[in-house]
Amino acid sequence: MSAALLTLGLAAAPAAADPWPSASRDGGAAPRQAGTSFRTATEIEQGQRATASGSTGDYLYWSFPADTGQRPTVRATVKLPDTHAAQTWQIDVYDGLRRRQACQYGAQTRAAAADTPSVELACVLRTVRAWSEPWANDPLPGTYYIRLTATGVPTSDLGLPVDAEVRADSRDIGGAAAVDGSLAEPLVPGIATKSEDQQENAAVLAGLQPQDGWASGRWSDRWVWTGMGGVLAALAGVAGYALTRGAGRPVRVPPSA
């Protein structure tokens, strides 16, 4: 019983991991530009800070990979000009099918009062699933797009220079989010047009993938929970039999003389 409970504790450990990893995977210089559309989105790794300079009214795009069992969080900071009117900034996240994904929580849209030096935004997505119904809008493994822009900007502020910084991180939810199914391929633009040998390299429109490769449909700690549940049930059955055996035997009373 002690060994079984210890194994259950180890299986649950990934779900309690720090949701905001402090280590950055910046192998080299961080990207210093952003795309202007889905097709030209700048690719970033999870945990990598990216910066870009633009103008108020522009659409800024980045993309990053997210895999099964991850709960991505996107953060953005916009440094505004010294003098400006009231503005509203918004960050949106789209999946590989360019479906806008809803934020569980976070300041996805924020208003900046006149002459405010900066504005910060955040979007915590739902957990990425390995499989979903065709009609559902669940997050699926693949490429995710970040779009940052200002809405409701006065004409006088259009074109003013701004500096933006974005970062995407994920919390590993583990087997708690496992489902009975998986996609044939992750939702990476262009991957379906490549052969199996070519898929190991960059896809047509998005070349980044998780550090350990795509894990959709592979083993998860859900199997540990299921197996240990069966072991505990068997132990409980043996213990119950040991406690109750013989209780139902009839008591023989010797005949009186």
Domain assignment present for residue 253? The answer is no
Which of 26-40, 105-119, 145-159, 200-214 is least confident? 200-214
Nearest to 177 by CA among 215, 210, 130: 130
Q: What is the DSSP string of 20-49?
A: S-------SSPP---BSSSTTPEE--TT-E
pLDDT of residue 88: 95
Which of 81-95, 153-167, 213-227, 238-252 is least confident? 213-227
By the 8 A CB rule, do 170 and 21 touch? no
3-class DSSP assignment, residue 3: helix
Q: Give the HSE-up count for residue 209: Cα atoms under 13 Å, Cβ half-sphere.
A: 18
**Given a cut of 70, is residue 200 above it in pLDDT?**
no
Share of the chain above pLDDT 90, in %: 46
Give the C-alpha separation, 28 to 9, whole Å.
Answer: 37
Domain assignment present for residue 249? The answer is no
Domain assignment present for residue 248? The answer is no
Structural domain span for residue 55: 2-241
Q: Can you give the CATH number for the domain in which 116 is found?
A: 2.60.120.380
- What single-letter amino acid sits at 9? G
pLDDT of residue 193: 47
The tens digit of pLDDT for each residue in 121-135 reads 999 999 998 888 878
Domain assignment present for residue 246? The answer is no
Which of 3-17, 82-96, 235-249 is least confident? 3-17
User: What percent of the residues of the chain are helix, what percent strand, and what percent coil, each to the nearest 5?
Assistant: 20, 30, 50
Specify the number of domains making up the chain. 1
